[in-house]
């Protein structure tokens, strides 16, 4: 088995979702900021649980 | 609209009365605006690119910015659409402050839109002339000033309060109140516009400040909290928290596309409107001076331009390597992303300082 076929078996191009994003299309700052925004979403959901109970 | 529907449904199903809570609607407004912008954003960027609505880059600016030429602009329309739809969905439409805030946002948005449209579609580099822009901004701001003065029913509605000093309150006569309203709205609008020169630089501070103003609006609209914290009680102002939540949500989603390297710029249509929105909310909740603190980055950017122009006219020398201030730091060797994130960090600190005024007085 050569390196090429090993590469094809990988489910992601790199370990860690941030590296996958950076390796695909996003630049590092782009990936950073988008992951911050994604983090804010569950925070908002968490805040909503204060009232929705 | 959804509030009215929920109130109607609550007559039969008690669960729906949960939507009467401003806090819940604020969170939902943020998430709705975020969702709308995420859904519409990619299509809008494709359309703007297809129609070649691209930003022209100032030739005397930093050389690193020349690669940005042609990036789609007028993306602020996306923010405004999200804010308007979300506010109409989750806001209490019987509340006149909601309409004042929407009027300011959309009024300044139209001015910015005309300016952008002339620049990028008609290829007129001057866009709307400075005089015409100032004239229309003044009209919108003065209309708001007159309306707020005439609709004021309590002394607290027209008092100027000083942060950190509980007992220092200045009752404003009509002329001073309208003048202050005018300067806060027009000043903030133009300051945000000047700040909008690097990817993500203007939108994140806007999100942070609107989030803080949401809290101020909620507290000002609550008789118990406002009395406890010693800030003016403005009945109905709490509903502006929903509006601010919509700004924060739409702004965050816009940042997704505006983060370095930006896929789209907000243009004057976004910057002027968002600045006016922040200024209007600050005026209504009587936190003009706190806005001055929290929006310190906007203030410093605007002042840097004034100093640069005044210095050059008076002495022929420049104080900064380039104005607005963010270009000065770029020319000093900071990377664009460093300038942006550092200005965000400064804004976070200033917003925390602004929030501290709630207790430290």
Give the separation between CA B120 and CA B129, rounded to whole angstroms: 14
pLDDT(B208) > 80: yes
Distance between CA atoms of residues B130 and B289, nearest Å: 27
**Residue B166 pLDDT:** 82
Q: With a cut of 90, say whether residue B58 has pLDDT above it.
A: no
CA dist B346 and B35 (Å) reads 28
What residues form DSSP beta bridges with B162? B165
| Cross-chain CB nearest to B261 (options A27, A34, A48) | A27
The 3-state DSSP class for residue B232 equals coil
Mean pLDDT of B14-34: 91
Q: In degrees rounded to 5, what are phi and psi of residue B168? A: -95, 95
Task: Select from B111, B291, B96, B94 the least CA-distant residue to B206.
Answer: B291
Alpha-carbon span B165 to B161, nearest angstrom: 8
Residue A1 pLDDT exceeds 50: no
Is A12's pLDDT higher than 90? no
Q: Could you tell me if B200 lies within 8 Å of chain A, comparing CB atoms?
A: yes
Say if B34 is an interface residue toward chain A (CB within 8 Å).
Answer: yes
Strand partners, B115: none
Task: Please say whether the beta carbons of B301 and B329 come within 8 A.
Answer: no
pLDDT at A7 over 60: no
The average pLDDT across B55-82 equals 83
Distance of alpha carbon B352 from the chain centroid: 18
Confidence of residue B321 (pLDDT cuts 50, 70, 90): very high
Six-digit token string for B279 = 């200024």
ipTM: 0.79
Residues of B in contact with A52 (CB under 8 A): 18, 24
**Shortest alpha-carbon distance between residue A3 and chain B (Å):** 33
Cβ pair A29:B337 closer than 8 A: yes
pLDDT tens-place string over residues B96-116 = 999 999 999 999 999 999 999
Which residues in B lie closer than 8 A to residue A27 (C-beta atoms)? Answer: 260-261
Q: Between B356 and B167, whose confidence is greater?
A: B356
Q: What are the φ/ψ torsions at residue B169 (nearest 5 degrees)?
A: -130, 130
> Does B27 sit within 8 Å of A44, measured CB to CB?
yes
The pTM of this model reads: 0.91
**Chain A residues touching chain B at CB-CB below 8 Å:** 27, 29-30, 32-34, 37, 40-41, 44-45, 47-48, 50-52
How much is the pLDDT for B125? Answer: 72
Measured between beta carbons, the chain A residues lying within 8 angstroms of B255 are 33, 37
Contact A30 B28 (CB under 8 A): no
Shortest CB distance from A34 goes to which of B30, B256, B337? B256
Mean per-residue pLDDT of chain B: 93
What distance in Å separates the CA atoms of residue B238 and residue B21, rounded to the nearest whole number? 10
- Burial of residue B126 (number of CB atoms within 10 Å: 0-12, 13-18, 19+): exposed
Whose structure tokens read 């402050």? B97
Tell me which residue in A30, A48, A51 faces B260 most closely, judged by beta carbons.
Answer: A30
Q: What is the CA radius of gyration of chain B?
A: 20
Both tokens assigned to B334: 């900071």
Distance CA B130, CA B354 (A): 32
pLDDT level of residue B126 (50, 70, 90 thresholds): confident
Separation between Cα atoms, residue B313 and residue B320, nearest integer Å: 14
Percent of residues, chain B, with pLDDT higher than 90: 82
* Chain B residues whose beta carbon lies within 8 Å of the beta carbon of residue A30: 259-261
Q: What is the mean pLDDT of residues B161-186?
A: 94
Q: Which of B23, B27, B343 to mutate to test the interface with A (most CBs of A within 10 A)?
A: B27
Would you state the structure tokens that stand for residue A21, as one six-digit string? Answer: 């994003």
Asked whether residue B148 carries a pLDDT value surpassing 50, the answer given is yes
Rounded Cα–Cα distance for residues B44 and B79 (Å): 11
Angle at B196 between CA B193 and CA B200, to 5 degrees: 145
Residue B237: pLDDT over 90: yes
* Structure confidence at residue A21 as a pLDDT band (50, 70, 90): low
Assess contact for B239 and B91: CB atoms under 8 A.
yes
Chosen from B260, B264, B345 to mutate, greatest number of chain A CBs within 10 A: B260
* B28-46 tens-digit pLDDT: 999 999 999 999 999 999 9
A10 CA to chain B: closest CA distance, Å? 28
Q: For B289-306, what is each residue's pLDDT tens digit?
A: 999 999 999 999 999 999
| Contact residues, chain B, for A33 at CB < 8 Å | 200, 255-256, 259-260
Counting other chains too, the contacts that A22-30 makes at CB distance below 8 Å and 24 or more residues apart are A27/B260, A27/B261, A29/B259, A29/B260, A29/B261, A29/B337, A30/B259, A30/B260, A30/B261
Chain B residues with CB inside 8 Å of A51's CB?
A: 18, 21, 23-24, 27
CB-closest option in A29, A40, A45 to B252: A40
Predicted local confidence at residue B353, as pLDDT: 97
What DSSP string runs through B49-108? HHTT-B----TTS-GGGGGGTT-B--THHHHHHHHHHHHHHHS-TT-HHHHHHHHHHHHH
Residue B160 phi/psi, 5-degree rounding, is: -100, 120
Chain A to chain B Cβ contacts (< 8 Å): 41
Chain A touched by B348 (CB under 8 Å): no
Look-up of token digits 């299309």: A25
């Amino acid at each position: 088995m050569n390196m090429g076929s090993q590469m094809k078996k990988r489910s992601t191009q790199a370990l860690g979702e941030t590296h996958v994003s950076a390796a695909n299309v996003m630049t590092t700052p782009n990936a950073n900021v988008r992951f911050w925004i994604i983090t804010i979403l569950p925070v908002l959901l968490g805040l909503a649980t204060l009232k929705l109970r | 609209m959804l509030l009215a529907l929920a109130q109607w449904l609550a007559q039969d199903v008690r669960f729906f009365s949960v939507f009467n809570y401003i806090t819940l609607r604020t969170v939902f407004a943020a998430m709705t605006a975020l969702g709308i912008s995420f859904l519409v954003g990619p299509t809008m960027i494709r359309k703007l690119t297809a129609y070649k609505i691209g930003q022209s880059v100032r030739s005397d600016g930093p050389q690193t910015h020349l690669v940005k030429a042609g990036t789609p602009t007028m993306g602020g329309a996306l923010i405004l659409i999200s804010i308007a739809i979300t506010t109409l969905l989750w806001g209490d439409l019987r509340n006149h402050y909601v309409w004042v805030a929407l009027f300011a946002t959309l009024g300044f948005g139209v001015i910015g839109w005309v300016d952008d449209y002339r620049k990028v579609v008609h290829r007129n580099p001057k866009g709307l002339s400075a005089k015409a822009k100032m004239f229309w901004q003044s009209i919108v701001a003065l209309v708001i000033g007159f309306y707020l003065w005439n609709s004021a029913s309590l002394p607290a509605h027209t008092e100027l309060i000083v942060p950190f000093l509980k007992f220092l309150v200045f009752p404003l006569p009509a002329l001073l109140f309208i003048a202050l309203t005018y300067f806060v709205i027009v000043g903030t609008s133009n300051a945000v516009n000047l700040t909008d020169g690097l990817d993500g630089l203007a939108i994140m501070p806007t999100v942070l400040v609107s989030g803080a103003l949401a809290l101020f609006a909620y507290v000002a609209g609550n008789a118990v909290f406002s009395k406890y914290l010693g800030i003016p009680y403005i009945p109905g102002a709490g509903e502006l928290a929903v509006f601010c939540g919509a700004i924060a949500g739409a702004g965050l989603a816009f940042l997704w596309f505006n983060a370095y390297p930006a896929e789209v710029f907000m243009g004057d249509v976004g910057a002027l409107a968002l600045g006016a929105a922040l200024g209007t909310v600050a005026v209504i909740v009587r936190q003009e001076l706190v806005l001055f603190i929290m929006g310190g980055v906007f203030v410093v950017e605007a002042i840097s331009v004034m100093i640069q122009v005044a210095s050059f006219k008076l002495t022929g020398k420049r104080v900064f390597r380039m104005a607005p201030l963010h270009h000065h730091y770029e020319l000093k060797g900071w990377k664009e992303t460093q300038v942006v994130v550092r200005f965000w960090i400064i804004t976070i600190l200033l917003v925390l300082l602004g929030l501290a005024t709630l207790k430290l007085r």
